[in-house]
Amino acid sequence: MAVLVTGGAGYIGSHTVAALLEKGEEVVVLDNLQQGHREAVTGGRFYEGDLRDEEVLDRVFRENSIDAVIHFAASSLVGESMKEPGKYYHNNVYGALCLLEAMNRVGVKRIVFSSTAATYGEPDSVPIRETDRTQPTNVYGETKLAMEKMIRWYEVAHEFRFVSLRYFNAAGAHESGRIGEDHRPESHLVPIILQTALGQRSHISVFGEDYPTEDGSCVRDYIHVSDLSDAHILAVERLRRGEDSAIYNLGNGEGFSVKQVIEIARRITGRDIPAVIEARRAGDPAVLVASSDKARAELGWNPHRSNLERIIESAWAWHQSRPQGYND
């Protein structure tokens, strides 16, 4: 049986495709390549198409024996979502609806869903647990929460089983050096810092230094992309065993401020990385740090690559070997 990976040409999706292939899984990828790269898909069967295209989805399910779906395909930028809410509702909420309907038509009822720390909003306390209040502060998080709830109602009505993985901040690159992060335009902190180290940008902007944190900049929990891939494989295995649906945080439990991340990158790269303080970015909570105890206990997840130095070293190796990213 094959696993369908939507968004498998994207950053986290391509790393998960590689991990599934390493495990000997049969993989089918659906991606519209709006963000992803064909070259990032290192194996399996590839379909270029959009989630919201019923014909393509039906063809993917008809032409392959799929028993589980990992759903990465989405628009996922906090800043952009505040300026273009319609794009986020259409791609994320309507896109997920199209996928769930297509799955239901063919009786594929296992789904692993890319959720996010952004579903929590501004937490009352950290580390954040799965039972904490969800009150997103940005449109992106709101659409992801809506998707989670929608999947839950497909469980009630149609006996779907899901694992919703609320990732904190993904960073780093595959140890093979073949795949890494290449968003265009790039808006994520770690790659922008490293592009500055490479001299491709004049500086890194620090969005706000008046947050209630130790140095005033936002604190996030950075998790290695390959540790995330491991969790997806464990989640598929859980669903195949017929266990209950579940929601898990995926983070490494330690918070780093934007200024600390820049400082660590200066040390690792040995380069001058000029930083300029700018205004806050709309929708950003001050601190997001995960408790992943539940994923460790129930999934047997062991995020062993997520020391921030190691994450940045792997990302730096990728950026140095592929300064322009993928060829397309």
Ligand X SMILES: O=c1ccn([C@@H]2O[C@H](COP(=O)(O)OP(=O)(O)O[C@H]3O[C@H](CO)[C@@H](O)[C@H](O)[C@H]3O)[C@@H](O)[C@H]2O)c(=O)[nH]1
Give me the active site residues, please. 140
Phi, psi of 200 (to 5 degrees): -80, -15
| 188 counts as binding ligand X under rule CB under 6 A | yes
Residues in Cβ contact with 88 at an 8 Å cutoff, skipping those fewer than 6 apart: 75, 81, 139, 140, 143
- Which range of residues in 82-90, 120-128, 205-213, 223-231 is near ligand X by CB under 6 A? 205-213
Residues of span 153-172 touching ligand NAD by CB under 6 A: 167, 169-170
In the complex, the smallest distance separating the C-beta of residue 311 from ligand X, rounded to whole angstroms, is 12
Among 71, 110, 161, 220, which residue sits at the site for ligand X (rule: CB under 6 A)? 220
DSSP, residue by residue, 4-21: EEETTTSHHHHHHHHHHH
In the complex, the smallest distance separating the C-beta of residue 156 from ligand X, rounded to whole angstroms, is 26
DSSP, residue by residue, 81-149: HHH-HHHHIIIIIIHHHHHHHHHHHHT--EEEEEEEGGGTBS-SSSSB-TTS--B-SSHHHHHHHHHHH
| 51 counts as binding ligand NAD under rule CB under 6 A | yes
Q: Which is nearer to ligand X, 105 or 203 (CB)?
A: 203
- Counting every residue written for the chain, the total comes to 328
DSSP 8-state assignment for residue 35: S
Q: How far apart, in whole angstroms, are the C-alpha atoms of residue 67 and residue 239?
A: 10
Q: By CB under 6 A, how many residues form the interface with ligand X?
A: 22
Q: How far apart, in whole angstroms, are the C-alpha atoms of residue 162 and residue 78?
A: 24
Q: Which is nearer to ligand X, 102 or 206 (CB)?
A: 206
Q: Which is nearer to ligand X, 187 or 291 (CB)?
A: 187
Among 218, 228, 250, 315, which residue sits at the site for ligand X (rule: CB under 6 A)? 218
| 187 counts as binding ligand X under rule CB under 6 A | yes
In the complex, the smallest distance separating the C-beta of residue 169 from ligand X, rounded to whole angstroms, is 4
| Contacting positions for ligand NAD (CB under 6 A) | 7, 9-13, 30-36, 50-52, 72-74, 76, 91, 95, 114, 116, 167, 169-170, 183
